[in-house]
Amino acid sequence: MTILHLRRARTSLVLDARGPGLPRVVHWGGDVGDLDDDGLRQLTDATAPPVVPSSFDEPTVLSVLPEASAGWSGRPGLAGHRDGRDWSTCFRLDGLDVRDGGPGAARVTVRASDPAAGLTVTIEITLDPYGLLTVRHRLRNDGDSGYELRELTPVLPVPAVATELLDLTGRWCRERSPQRHPWQHGTWVRESRRGRTGHDATLLLVAGTSGFGFGHGEVWAVHTAWSGDHVTFAERRPTGESTIGGGELLAPAEIRLGPGESYETPLLYAVWSDAGLDGLSDVLHTHLRARPGHPRSPRPVTLNVWEAVYFDHDLDRLRALADRAAQIGVERFVLDDGWFRGRRDDTAGLGDWYVDEGVWPDGLQPLIDHVTGQGLQFGLWVEPEMVNPDSDLFRAHPDWLLAVPGRLPPAWRHQQVLDLGRPEAYDYVRERLDALLTDHPGIRYLKWDQNRDLTEAGHHGRPGVHGQTLAVYRLLDELRGRHPGVEIESCSSGGARVDLAILARTDRVWASDCNDALERLSIQRWTGLLLPPELIGTHIGPERSHTTRRVHDLGFRAATALFGHHGIEWDIASISIAEQAELAAWVALHKRLRPLLHSGRLVRVDHQDPAVWAHGVVDHEQTRAVYAVARLTTSVAQVPGAVRLPGLDPGRRYRVRQVSDVPAPATFDLSAPAWLAAGVTLSGAALTRVGVQLPALHPEQSLVLEVDAVD
């Protein structure tokens, strides 16, 4: 065969396909230059693993599908058996193609088979024009009996210079909490058996050089694009190999391939950068924005009425909220939970997707007409995957649950999960949602919630998470096909379903049910590691947080919500005239900055004081930028050090000033540096390498700066 070299956007992938088996991954990472065949051969030979004492007589071959037959004693890429046989494979290469993988992308397709085991594997590797790598395996059972698959996971090598690991964990209302540690020998495994991505999902597993940060260091990362049970891992062997990978986490007997049947893994997204975590994000954000289905219209400023009315649905009160929303500059009005039959609290009604005639005697149309008459879009909350035992649907079809025969899974928020793998359950949900959207063409947005883990998720006596996940994808795809003008938000008791597979079918995520601005700073910062701002719902909550009871002024809440898909989660009909005016000013500021915020490059500041956080967005021409600096707590130092403003062109001059559209934080007047009143003009080199001294803000306050090139 040959040695392949894929190059895109300063990233290289080198595959050695000269042997009879699966290709060896010679290199994945920084561009190795324009190498001819001889140069590739010399690079491959120079990096080949040696034969070491007291080991195999031939070097171990590490492919994207590691096999014990090639000498690999680490985590296997494939695990399965055929009634106890064919549990180990020895794939031999049948063919290898390099072809166009889409605009500007290159794709390698590897085909290999093991006739003795009765298996064929196809491996697709795509390097897109921005440097993002995706890997997917497809396994076919060529035998004459069933094959039980336990694991099929793509694996990629990482060089030994990566000595630290970072990933994310979390819980409800504290999603995306970073954790970091040295990368030592052994395996770091993150598994999710929640039946959904999970509040504790790692999002990205990052390996990097010592001390890497947002703006510096060499880093490699993977993301498993799957909304069900999944695994992501990093492994460092005493023999010298270091790998990262991920895939679907399968339950026993969940995938049993009959003769001729195939299984396809979720996409594993892999990205490298020598510019730290912001470099990873830049590649991922650019890739997502280039998708054909990425939202193109300005992201509407949204009012969700949940924290204003909860289950108390009154037409006049909701009309008043819509009137106030229009005055403030809101562009989308979302009616949350409580509109359907029997839904007066969270203990009943899920599954009965009919407008409650007792609450809405004339249906939803009067409210829809009023909202749209104010120039706002109308949105509606649904939770179609769930059912309350106290519902007509459950009473009529108790057998439609995702459950082990003979018992119910533990209750969670008084609800169970509908088995969408059952055609009759799937058809019912699809018909109800389709009818709802057809009968109410004014609904332009669905807040699609999913409020519980899938526990003991049984389908006809066998594990059902895999089938349920595919059924949800199919349901979303069908509804979007029938109603292409309707946008959908992925909400899962906040941020428990945030992954690139669900985002192939939805238009944004709800990052968290927590609207506490201090908590949201961290949640949004780390969600932004994977997603660009326009895909992350960021709302201004009330003065006292619904979930933490912490109190914040409007400026801090609004500055936190500014950098995302902006919205409000607050009873704006009861706020003061002064609050209305300030809120309207923040909404107007967001709209003015929205073209920049939703297209530019996200940057996060590595500041030496942990009490000071800063982040910003810089346009790709490096002519404009906006930054927010937040004080989380008091500092040991009375005056924190200057804040650098990354992402600017060192050779340009820039005007830096505080935004004038909104009130300044009220408590920094005694400590404001002299430059702040009139602004300052400095070179990009000075701003990125020295920075500017900012006021000693009190804890839980933020300052927003605008930066414009002046030459």
Intra-chain end-to-end CA distance of the chain, in Å = 54
3-class DSSP state for residue 36? coil
Distance of CA 156 to the CA centre of its chain: 21
Residue 619 annotated in active site = no
Question: Is there a catalytic annotation at residue 513?
Answer: yes
Q: Which residues contact 423 (CB under 8 A, 6 or more apart)?
A: none
Q: Is 11 helix (H, G, I), strand (E, B) or coil?
A: strand
DSSP secondary structure letters along 464-503:
-HHHHHHHHHHHHHHHHHH-TT-EEEE-BTTBS--STTGG
Of the candidates 105, 99, 139, 122, which has an alpha carbon nearest to the alpha carbon of residue 23? 122
Handedness of CA 231, 232, 236, 237 (dihedral sign): positive
Alpha carbons 413 and 243: distance in angstroms, whole number = 40
122: number of Cβ within 10 Å: 18
Secondary structure, 3-state, 315-347:
HHHHHHHHHHHHHHCCCEEEECCCCECCCCCCC
Tell me how far CA of residue 144 lies from CA of 114, 119, 147, 178, 261, in angstroms. Answer: 14, 11, 9, 48, 11
Residues recorded for the chain: 711
Residues 6+ away with beta carbon under 8 Å from 677: none
Cα separation, 429 vs 145, in Å, equals 36
CB burial of residue 21 (10 Å; 0-12, 13-18, 19+): middle
Per the structure block, which two tokens stand in for 176? 């995306």
Q: Which of 16, 86, 449, 553 is catalytic?
A: 449
Q: Residues 373, 319: contact at Cβ < 8 Å?
A: no
Rounded-to-integer distance, Cα 698 and Cα 677, Å: 18
Task: Round to whole Å and give the CA distance between 378 and 441.
Answer: 10
Other beta carbons within 10 angstroms of residue 1's beta carbon come to 14
**What does the alpha-carbon distance between residue 113 and residue 506 come to, in Å, rounded to a whole number?**
37
Q: 41 exposed, middle or buried (CB, 10 Å; 0-12, 13-18, 19+)? A: middle
DSSP code per residue over 157-226? E--TT--EEEEEE--TTS--EEEEEE--SEEEEEEE-SSSS-TT--S-EEEESTT--SSSS-EEEEEEE-
Q: Compute the chain's Rg from CA coordinates.
A: 27
Q: 553 to each of 19, 307, 362, 579, how far by Cα in Å?
A: 65, 17, 40, 10
278, 282, 507, 513: which is the annotated catalytic residue?
513
What are the start-end ranges of the H helices in 48-118?
A: none
**Annotated active-site positions, please?**
449, 513
